[in-house]
Amino acid sequence: MAAANGKTRLNGPLRYAHITGWGMAVPETVMTNDDLAAIVETNDEWIRSRTGIRERRIANERESSATLGYKAATAALEVADVLPMDIDLIVVATSTSEHVFPSTANRIQDWLGASKSGAFDLAAACAGFVYAVNMAAQSIRSGSINTALVIGAETMSRVVDWNDRSTCILFGDGAGAVVLQGSDQEGGVLSAVLRSDGAGHDLLSIPTQNVRELNGHRLGKMSMHGGEVFKFATRVVDESIRQVSQDSGITLNEIDLIIPHQANYRILQSAARKLGLDMDKFVSNLDRYGNTSAASIPIALCEAIEQGRIRKDDHLVMVGFGGGLSWAAMTVRWGIPEPSSLQANPLNRQRRRAVYALARIRARWNRLRRAWSNILRWSNPRNIRLMRLRRRANREKLP
Ligand code: UT7
């Protein structure tokens, strides 16, 4: 993968892509390890000692990857003080979209009233957020767009097999989002390493109705060879961190903070050991949220910022790994001031609220308009005659 100092230039000078806004949303319902022990044969001690997880959040029936992603997105737009109509691109990294299409990004674009934005979902499992930020950053750097909204949103509780104790204890629901904007100020996304090893496709998978063979897996449910995925993860995390820091011209010691995918505390410990880095350099919140797949990195990033762990000019490394198998790492030089000095313009805040409210009204109005035009179409005498003729022709065709 080309470093951010790659050669593409569409119009104007090469720009820098900075993270200027961030937000997260998690469901209110908390499921503790003890709650899980009532569902499958497990216990708090096993889960804590093997994974580091104490509890996770579970979406209610009114929540989905789209609703959680939307909440995280509105929070990120608030921090960046960006209006929905100024967004050029929305990318949602998710494996738990409500539909194959429309994408989760399409739904969020509509709810935000981001009327000038393209929108698509990106499927790279737990590495998806880093892939998506890189896609958006490269579009900004090439000059083809200026503002992107990148979201990682998941409702893993809908795809885990609640009878399988080796996977259902690991996952949770949530969403995180960032706004990326072009700037002439040096820094932002420096470089990225994106990798795939499709030979490991059956180690971690969720088959859809289009699958050729189920091979003992359940349709729409996740299955995982935990031990194999663990070995893969402990190999690629430190390798890709080394690679990406080298590509961006910084030493391992110059990394201020690593924001890893939150899969298992033991994977983070192994990476820290191999890299010779202190565990303090790794952000970990999996004790409270478990593994939220593509949402785990942006949620951890948000919490690290809110806890004051990231300062201007710090070097961050984000690293994701999972189904595919796919993995990705990215270095970012944090380019914006401390969050406390950021104040959204109150007028823009009102404008954002008005745009969201209008977007809701417009969506309802469009549905009504479509329903009404269908009623008119089918109550037209010419269409009724046509429909009768068609029915008769179909009857006559039958043997
Ligand atoms: O986000 C995508 C990336 N995902 C990951 O990175 C996940 C990577 N894998 C892992 O984190 C670990 O492999 C697991 C946490 C999934 C499993 O931990 P492990 O140390 O690899 O355990 P294991 O699968 O080797 O199982 C050890 C024992 C087994 O019993 P026996 O055969 O030794 O008698 C399991 O049956 O633990 C048993 N076991 C459990 N016991 C209590 C498995 N799951 C549970 C459980 N509660 N939930």
Q: What residues contact residue 305 under an 8 Å CB cut-off, 6+ apart? A: 22, 339
Instruction: Please provide the average confidence, as pLDDT, over all residues in the chain.
Output: 92
The per-residue pLDDT for range 139-159, each reduced to its tens digit, is: 999 999 999 999 999 999 999
Give the pLDDT confidence score for residue 337 in this predicted structure.
60
Burial 52-68 (b: 16+ CB within 10 A, else e): bbbbbbbbeeebbbbbb
Domain ranges of the chain: 16-341, 346-397
Instruction: Please give the positions annotated as active site.
Output: 126, 261, 291
**CA-to-CA distance for 270 and 236, rounded, in angstroms?**
11
**DSSP β-ladder status, 223-224 and 204-205:** antiparallel
> Do residues 181 and 79 touch, judged by C-beta distance below 8 A?
no
Q: Which residue among 50, 161, 229, 237 is best mutated to probe the pocket of ligand 1, counting the most ligand atoms within 8 A of its Cβ?
A: 50
Give the pLDDT confidence score for residue 10 in this predicted structure.
43
Could you say which of 3.30.360.10, 3.30.2350.10, 3.40.640.10, 3.40.47.10 is the CATH number of the domain covering 16-341? 3.40.47.10
Amino acid in position 393: A
The per-residue pLDDT for range 289-310, each reduced to its tens digit, is: 999 999 999 999 999 999 999 9
pLDDT, average across residues 27-46: 97
**DSSP β-ladder status, 257-260 and 315-322:** parallel
Backbone angles phi, psi at 99, to 5 degrees: -130, 160
Give the pLDDT confidence score for residue 385 in this predicted structure.
83
Atom 42 (ligand 1) nearest CA:
42
- CB within 6 Å of ligand 1 — which residues? 42, 46, 50-51, 126, 165-166, 169, 204, 226-227, 229-230, 233, 263-264, 267, 291, 293, 322
**CA-to-CA distance for 217 and 220, rounded, in angstroms?**
9
The per-residue pLDDT for range 115-143, each reduced to its tens digit, is: 999 999 999 999 999 999 999 999 999 99
Say whether 308 sits in a helix, a strand or coil. coil
Give the pLDDT confidence score for residue 9 in this predicted structure.
40
Atom of ligand 1 lying closest to residue 167 CA: 16
Atom of ligand 1 lying closest to residue 322 CA: 2
Q: 377 pLDDT exceeds 70? A: yes
**CA-to-CA distance for 143 and 131, rounded, in angstroms?**
19
Atom of ligand 1 lying closest to residue 169 CA: 48
Q: Enter the pTM of the model.
A: 0.90
Q: Which residue among 130, 203, 230, 292 is best mutated to probe the pocket of ligand 1, counting the most ligand atoms within 8 A of its Cβ?
A: 230
**CA-to-CA distance for 229 and 386, rounded, in angstroms?**
59
Atom 14 (ligand 1) nearest CA:
226
**CA-to-CA distance for 195 and 192, rounded, in angstroms?**
10
Give the pLDDT confidence score for residue 165 in this predicted structure.
95
The per-residue pLDDT for range 212-266, each reduced to its tens digit, is: 988 888 999 999 999 999 999 999 999 999 999 999 999 999 999 999 999 999 9
